[in-house]
Amino acid sequence: MTDPVLAIDFGTSNTAVAVLEGGRPRLLPIEGGAATLPTAVFLPAGGGAMRIGAAAAEALIAGEDGRYMRALKSVLGTALFHEPRLIGRQRRTLADIVTAFLAGLKSRAEAAAGRRFDRVLSGRPVHFHTAAPDRDAAAEADLRACYLAAGFAQVEFALEPEAAALASPAPRRPGGLGLIVDIGGGTSDFSVFRTGGDGVRILGSHGIRLGGTDFDHAVSMAHAMPLLGLGGQLRRSLGDGLLPVPQAIYVDLSTWAMIPFLYTAETQRAVADLQRHALDPVPMRRLARVIGDHLGHDLAFAVERGKIAANSGLRGAGIDMGMVEPGLSVPVTPGSLNAALQPQRAPLEGALRETLFRAAVAPAEIDTVVLVGGSSLMALVESEARAVCPQARIERSEVFTAVADGLALATAPGAGLGAGLR
């Protein structure tokens, strides 16, 4: 690729862009003076311009009437991505919305850099969808089409953990091996690399569909959703006995990408039916309030804050559900957090070991583990990395911008990321 090239790390939760200047990456300020932009949009109910980033969250917090959306990257490669829906007085697809987000991002980057960008090198996870090659290919095709529709003339992709390897500190031993552990909002990606006189050499990469939004989902299901009726019982319409409350609404309410699609008449009818049959009507009244007043994202942000606080070991950490009912809250302790996230440990460990297998490297050979991505700050990530590579030093790169830095470095002539650059 020839200059000018815009490097974009389009993330599930946050997005960053960079350019290569004088052989070094330069992050562009795309959110005020900040180098990262929340990957979120707000579409006003009465029409008008779509808001992106912090402005989207501000509109949600202010209680403006409209549709807030986050984690759109997780829907790439699915039928839902191309399904037209009436949003903000217009029939749109999620593809239209992602395209508008990328067009806004392009405009901000050009204003910050003072030049036009027609070419983009975009990061992508090793796998958008685990063990689903057709959906994985469809997801990349979806994202490529959105970039082209947003005004870019040439689009190339590089694997995100391989890009992060380019921007990572070299292993402490000359010729030593490093392991990138990149835990983002929607995926976990890994690369084994060696740094030498000829630069960074990627020995193997792997990835799974597991990330921070999955952690949020697990915490919400274990802590917040029981206060809305999950785990309760229903009286039968006919006959004796009780039935368990179905989980489907709670699963979607705990999933960032699915929350906007719960605000329908069909969901309200289903919740009303649950209220009529609930053995304990109080939690169901709370659920009706969340759906009726469109409080799903407010609750999701509260869950995310509670997760972060408990992960940091803060005393009194919890999920403030006062937006649902005054004074309503649920504690999140390090122990309850660990219990909620326990099922995530096995796939994470398995992915780490699979990466080493693909690189034909033994765990003892890894000199340095480099943690990248906002969700790598979760304690279980470091503990699993230490368990798999106990002799390695643990380092943290620029967790939110390492991929963008590496993508910018990858635009240099001859930088190439092997199979990752295509």
Token pair 């009244």: residue: 285
Q: Give mean pLDDT, residues 359-386.
A: 96
Whole-angstrom Cα distance, residue 257 to residue 252?
8
Q: Is residue 332 assigned to a domain?
A: yes
* Residue 205 and residue 354 share a domain: yes
Token pair of 237 as six digits: 């319409």
* pLDDT tens for each residue of 201-248: 999 999 999 999 999 999 999 999 999 999 999 999 877 889 999 999
* Residue 263 and residue 153 share a domain: no
Whole-angstrom Cα distance, residue 293 to residue 120?
40
Flag whether pLDDT at 1 surpasses 50.
Answer: no
Q: Residue 418 has what pLDDT?
A: 40
Sheet holding 40-44, edge to edge: 51-52, 40-44, 66-70
Q: Is residue 413 assigned to a domain?
A: yes
Q: Residue 13 has what pLDDT?
A: 94
CATH number for the domain spanning 416: value is 3.30.420.40
Flag whether pLDDT at 260 surpasses 80.
Answer: yes
* Residue 242 and residue 322 share a domain: yes
Q: Give mean pLDDT, residues 371-393.
A: 95
CA-closest candidate to residue 218, choices 37, 106, 344: 344
Flag whether pLDDT at 178 surpasses 50.
Answer: yes
Q: Is residue 168 assigned to a domain?
A: no
* Residue 373 and residue 307 share a domain: no
Q: Give mean pLDDT, residues 34-55.
A: 93
* Residue 134 and residue 48 share a domain: yes
Q: Residue 119 has what pLDDT?
A: 97
Could you give the percent of the chain with pLDDT greater than 90?
A: 86
* Residue 136 and residue 19 share a domain: yes
Higher pLDDT, 240 or 421: 240
Q: Residue 417 has what pLDDT?
A: 52
SS3 state of residue 52: strand
* pLDDT tens for each residue of 74-117: 999 999 999 998 887 788 999 999 999 999 999 999 999 999 99
* Residue 348 and residue 309 share a domain: no
Q: How many domains does the chain have?
A: 3
Q: Residue 175 has what pLDDT?
A: 75
* Residue 17 and residue 151 share a domain: yes
In terms of Cβ atoms closer than 10 Å to its own Cβ (0-12, 13-18, 19+), residue 80 is middle
Give the domain-ending residue among 290, 319, 338. Answer: 338
* pTM recorded for the entire structure: 0.93
Q: Which domain holds residue 409?
A: 5-161+403-420
SS3 state of residue 5: strand
Q: Is residue 283 assigned to a domain?
A: yes
CB-hemisphere CA count at 13 Å for 111?
A: 11
* Residue 299 and residue 219 share a domain: yes
Q: Is residue 329 assigned to a domain?
A: yes
Q: Is residue 197 assigned to a domain?
A: yes
Q: Is residue 334 assigned to a domain?
A: yes
* Residue 351 and residue 207 share a domain: yes
Would you put residue 89 in left (φ > 0), alpha (ψ -120 to 50) or beta?
Answer: left
Give the domain-ending residue among 338, 364, 389. Answer: 338
Whole-angstrom Cα distance, residue 408 to residue 339?
39
* Residue 57 and residue 103 share a domain: yes
* Residue 355 and residue 312 share a domain: no
Amino acid at 316: G
